Protein backbone atom coordinates (compact mmCIF):
# COMPACT_ATOMS: atom_id res chain seq x y z
CA UNK A 1 0.00 0.00 0.00
CA UNK A 2 1.45 3.36 -1.00
CA UNK A 3 1.81 6.36 1.30
CA UNK A 4 -0.94 8.14 -0.62
CA UNK A 5 -3.32 5.21 -0.11
CA UNK A 6 -2.53 5.05 3.63
CA UNK A 7 -2.94 8.79 4.14
CA UNK A 8 -6.30 9.55 5.78
CA UNK A 9 -5.78 13.30 6.00
CA UNK A 10 -5.48 15.71 3.07
CA UNK A 11 -2.42 17.90 2.87
CA UNK A 12 -2.78 21.52 1.89
CA UNK A 13 0.00 23.75 0.64
CA UNK A 14 0.90 26.31 3.25
CA UNK A 15 4.16 28.19 2.84
CA UNK A 16 5.11 30.05 5.99
CA UNK A 17 7.79 30.30 8.64
CA UNK A 18 7.65 28.43 11.92
CA UNK A 19 9.77 27.35 14.86
CA UNK A 20 10.66 23.71 15.44
CA UNK A 21 11.77 22.71 18.94
CA UNK A 22 13.85 19.52 19.18
CA UNK A 23 15.41 18.75 22.56
CA UNK A 24 16.69 22.12 23.77
CA UNK A 25 17.17 23.58 20.30
CA UNK A 26 14.75 25.99 18.60
CA UNK A 27 15.14 26.13 14.82
CA UNK A 28 13.60 28.54 12.32
CA UNK A 29 12.16 26.58 9.42
CA UNK A 30 9.45 26.74 6.76
CA UNK A 31 6.19 24.85 6.54
CA UNK A 32 5.64 23.32 3.09
CA UNK A 33 2.29 21.71 3.77
CA UNK A 34 -0.13 20.96 6.61
CA UNK A 35 -2.76 18.42 7.52
CA UNK A 36 -4.87 17.84 10.61
CA UNK A 37 -2.27 15.26 11.70
CA UNK A 38 1.05 16.89 10.90
CA UNK A 39 3.25 19.05 8.72
CA UNK A 40 6.05 18.86 6.19
CA UNK A 41 8.90 21.21 7.09
CA UNK A 42 11.99 22.48 5.29
CA UNK A 43 15.20 23.45 7.07
CA UNK A 44 18.51 24.55 5.58
CA UNK A 45 20.91 21.67 4.99
CA UNK A 46 23.06 21.11 8.06
CA UNK A 47 20.73 23.02 10.39
CA UNK A 48 20.12 19.88 12.40
CA UNK A 49 22.49 17.01 13.16
CA UNK A 50 21.42 13.72 11.57
CA UNK A 51 21.08 12.17 15.03
CA UNK A 52 18.42 14.75 15.97
CA UNK A 53 16.40 14.13 12.79
CA UNK A 54 15.70 10.46 13.46
CA UNK A 55 12.24 8.96 13.11
CA UNK A 56 10.49 9.02 16.49
CA UNK A 57 12.40 12.01 17.88
CA UNK A 58 9.98 14.11 20.00
CA UNK A 59 9.50 17.70 18.88
CA UNK A 60 7.09 20.62 18.94
CA UNK A 61 6.08 23.07 16.24
CA UNK A 62 4.90 26.66 16.55
CA UNK A 63 3.33 28.30 13.48
CA UNK A 64 2.59 32.00 13.98
CA UNK A 65 -0.46 32.91 11.91
CA UNK A 66 -0.32 36.59 12.89
CA UNK A 67 2.83 38.70 13.41
CA UNK A 68 1.84 39.69 16.96
CA UNK A 69 1.68 36.04 18.03
CA UNK A 70 -1.96 36.14 19.11
CA UNK A 71 -2.99 33.49 16.58
CA UNK A 72 -0.77 30.44 16.38
CA UNK A 73 -0.83 26.70 15.90
CA UNK A 74 1.13 24.77 18.52
CA UNK A 75 1.53 21.03 18.08
CA UNK A 76 3.63 18.36 19.77
CA UNK A 77 4.63 15.19 18.04
CA UNK A 78 7.57 13.35 16.60
CA UNK A 79 9.63 13.15 13.46
CA UNK A 80 7.86 10.75 11.08
CA UNK A 81 10.45 10.90 8.30
CA UNK A 82 13.48 12.90 7.18
CA UNK A 83 14.93 13.46 3.71
CA UNK A 84 18.20 15.33 3.28
CA UNK A 85 19.67 16.89 0.16
CA UNK A 86 22.56 19.29 -0.47
CA UNK A 87 20.24 22.28 -0.11
CA UNK A 88 17.62 21.33 2.47
CA UNK A 89 16.40 18.91 5.08
CA UNK A 90 12.72 17.99 4.78
CA UNK A 91 11.08 16.69 7.94
CA UNK A 92 7.66 15.13 8.25
CA UNK A 93 6.14 15.84 11.65
CA UNK A 94 3.40 13.60 13.02
CA UNK A 95 1.17 15.47 15.47
CA UNK A 96 0.21 13.65 18.68
CA UNK A 97 -0.95 16.54 20.84
CA UNK A 98 -2.61 19.86 19.98
CA UNK A 99 -4.62 22.30 22.08
CA UNK A 100 -8.18 23.35 21.29
CA UNK A 101 -7.30 26.83 20.00
CA UNK A 102 -4.59 25.43 17.73
CA UNK A 103 -6.77 22.69 16.23
CA UNK A 104 -9.51 25.28 15.65
CA UNK A 105 -7.07 27.51 13.73
CA UNK A 106 -5.61 24.53 11.87
CA UNK A 107 -9.06 23.23 10.93
CA UNK A 108 -10.01 26.63 9.52
CA UNK A 109 -6.74 26.86 7.60
CA UNK A 110 -7.27 23.42 6.07
CA UNK A 111 -10.92 24.22 5.34
CA UNK A 112 -10.04 27.40 3.44
CA UNK A 113 -7.34 25.66 1.40
CA UNK A 114 -9.08 22.34 0.81
CA UNK A 115 -12.28 23.79 -0.64
CA UNK A 116 -14.31 20.65 0.16
CA UNK A 117 -16.38 20.91 3.36
CA UNK A 118 -17.55 17.26 3.19
CA UNK A 119 -14.01 15.94 2.92
CA UNK A 120 -12.94 18.12 5.84
CA UNK A 121 -15.84 16.83 7.99
CA UNK A 122 -14.83 13.24 7.18
CA UNK A 123 -11.26 14.01 8.23
CA UNK A 124 -12.37 15.70 11.46
CA UNK A 125 -14.44 12.58 12.19
CA UNK A 126 -11.37 10.39 11.63
CA UNK A 127 -9.33 12.65 13.90
CA UNK A 128 -11.91 12.46 16.69
CA UNK A 129 -12.09 8.66 16.39
CA UNK A 130 -8.31 8.48 16.58
CA UNK A 131 -7.45 7.31 13.06
- Check: CB of residue 75 under 8 Å from CB of residue 61: yes
- Check: CB of residue 94 under 8 Å from CB of residue 77: yes
pLDDT in tens, the chain (131 residues): 344 434 566 677 787 889 999 988 999 999 999 988 899 999 998 888 877 889 999 999 999 988 887 889 999 999 999 998 889 999 999 999 999 999 888 888 877 777 666 655 665 666 556 65
User: pTM of the prediction?
Assistant: 0.78
pLDDT of residue 60: 97
Give which of 50, 35, 18 is closest to 94, Cα–Cα: 35
Which of 1.10.40.60, 3.40.640.10, 3.30.70.270, 2.40.10.220 is the CATH number of 3-129?
Answer: 2.40.10.220
Q: Give the E-state strand segments of the chain in sequence order.
A: 12-22, 25-35, 38-44, 58-64, 72-84, 88-98
Amino acid sequence: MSTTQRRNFSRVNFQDGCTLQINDTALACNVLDLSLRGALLSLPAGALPATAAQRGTPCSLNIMLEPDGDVQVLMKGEIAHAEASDKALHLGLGCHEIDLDSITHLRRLVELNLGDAQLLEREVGLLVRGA
